[in-house]
Amino acid sequence: MLKKSINEALNEQIAMEAYASNYYLAMASWCERKGLEGSAQFFYGQADEEREHMMKIFRYVNEADGHAHAPAINQPDLEFESFNSLFEIALNHEKKVTKSIDRILKLATEANDFRTQNLLQWFVDEQLEEENQMQTILDKLNLIGDSGVGLYMLDAELSKKAEEKEAEEEGE
Ligand SMILES: [Fe+2]
Ligand SMILES: [Fe+2]
């Protein structure tokens, strides 16, 4: 049986992943309206991934005899200042998620809850990847700028990234 405090923390994490999914959806929509098709595909992919994260925790909680709560989801920002700002917001949010995962992992460690620790260990690796990914894109944006040819090139690269991810998932 899951400890009540851990169950609650995991429900908060479920809500956080759902919110992230929604945020990425808003970003995808913004990109699509600006004609940035590749970036839109990238953010749609991110939105799917966050929903998978949510489901991974959701299923675990019930499997571990807890009670997974379907979350209330706040509407995220729908407008963004610039292309650059999308990735700054994304990176900041991923950092918040990392902190939250770390906090719950600490709780699980203190409670000798090895199963939850095992689940969260997967998220520790995932967060490292996600933060790195956003940071790399931001670094590139700083190099080439977020207008004109640079933006066009980066959009093409993000399209490729989205396709690669999809192919990876189909291969799994
Ligand atoms: Fe996530
Ligand atoms: Fe994420």
> Would you state the pLDDT for residue 147?
82
Max CA distance (Å), the chain: 56
CATH of domain 4-171: 1.20.1260.10
Q: Is 82 helix (H, G, I), strand (E, B) or coil?
A: coil
Q: What is the mean pLDDT of each run of 10 residues along the chain (172 residues)?
A: 96 98 98 97 98 98 98 95 96 98 98 98 98 96 87 93 89 78
11, two tokens: 């429900």
> Would you state the pLDDT for residue 109?
98
Give distance in angstroms: CA of 91 to centre of ligand 2.
9
Give distance in angstroms: CA of 97 to centre of ligand 1.
7
Any idea which residue has 């299923």 for tokens? 59
Give distance in angstroms: CA of 90 to centre of ligand 2.
8
Give distance in angstroms: CA of 156 to centre of ligand 1.
24
Give distance in angstroms: CA of 50 to centre of ligand 1.
5
The model's pTM is 0.94
Domain residue ranges of the chain, discontinuous segments joined by +: 4-171
